[in-house]
Chain A
Amino acid sequence: MAQVPVQTIHRDPQLFYWILFPITAVMILTGVLRHYATVLMASAAKKLDQKTMREQRSLLHGINVRGNSHALSKRSFTARRDALITAYESGAYLKDPERRGQAPPNPMSDPSSMEGMMGMMKNQMAMIIPNTLIMSWINAFFSGYVIMKLPFPLTIKFKSMLQAGVATKDMDPRWMSSISWYFLCIFGLQPVFNFLLGSDNAASQMAQQMGGMAPNAGQMFGPGVDPDKQFLAEAENLAVIEHYSVLDGVEQRLLEGIKV
């Protein structure tokens, strides 16, 4: 079988110094900058005032009582349940009891929730702006250059990915254009940032995108959720619970389980 002649393209070695290296360096530096910009812009976690804390933790307390009710004896559980249901239904734990029953404030007009949204906006901006700038910079100066050859063979499907901006039909997909190198850098620099900045850095955009997708842990007490409704739902959950206790028959279990 005849060997397919190896394509060779004579490249100026200067391409390496003036394109490949600058793109990589700029990408790394932007990542580091973005990390520190995020750290600087991050607003300190907002302090809860005592009433809010009381409201949230009282709800958590109810959830704990419901979840771990088996650790209690029936009598103490019933006492707790009755007390909690009464308090929940009368709104004793609410932050401002007189606002009870009114519609929750619009999250857009609440300054405390605006802050959280601003934080998210800032993060998004810190990600989008540098990316746009770098991409247009690369497009303006380096588009159309073939800068390197990958050391492994690839199928034809990779052509559109690796040779973006180089419209040559017969070229081996192993040849890479500058804009593809940029994309490779975006996705492949994570370990470098981990090494430079520690593992919980804010440089990687991948992590941020993932974080945006995952459900937020603070959702439970987020803006726009009516605590009164949460309390009432929790009271209902407590009321329908079918209580059993681990103390029931524990001595029998012990005698059966442990042999001397």
Chain B
Amino acid sequence: MSALFDELPVILGAFWLTLRLTLATAVAALVLGTVLAAMRVSPLGVLRTVAATYVNALRNTPLTLVIVFCGLGLGLVLDVSFSESLSVNYLWLSIIGLSLYTAAFVCEAIRSGINTVPIGQAEAARALGLTFIQNLRHIVLPQAFRAVIAPLGSVLIALIKNTTIAAAIGVAEASLTMKSLFERHQEAVVPIFLGFALGFLVLTLPVGLLFGWLARRLAVAR
């Protein structure tokens, strides 16, 4: 147990990185996923095809592959660089990989939300003279989001856990830190594991509760 307390600053630091990875990815994936969902319902066939292909490709590729590609493929081979510091660079590359992957799931959640909005809502907006983009922005997407808050919560929980894959390219988030602590404190692997597992619960459980509450609170009465 003492190992756990001795290493508390290290552990908290690792979870702080996990949290930053999660937040940065969540914002990027929400934006990209929304754009993809808009493309999937757009009147232009080519946009629909591009978005559908993207979703099918990313949703069906293992996240580890995506992260390793971003880290080694983009980072090492293609020399994509965001920072002089190697660790900061890999952090950004892992955010890119996580965002590209998570956006596919966000897109599908939002698209199912769009399907719950009655067609008359969009027709009334068109009849007022709103353009396609205005219609999505003011009428369809706000109602679609409210319908899929709970599923988006699940995507966020999955994302929090998926950040551990960034360990594959050496980002020192919680799981990689746990691995190095195992090596340093071989007598205490069980408490260390339990500590990290508890740390993830502290992050994920409130998300589930918060999104469930938001879903009930923001539901659209019809």
A binds B: no
Chain B residues with CB under 8 Å of chain A are none
Q: A residues engaging B (CB < 8 A)? A: none
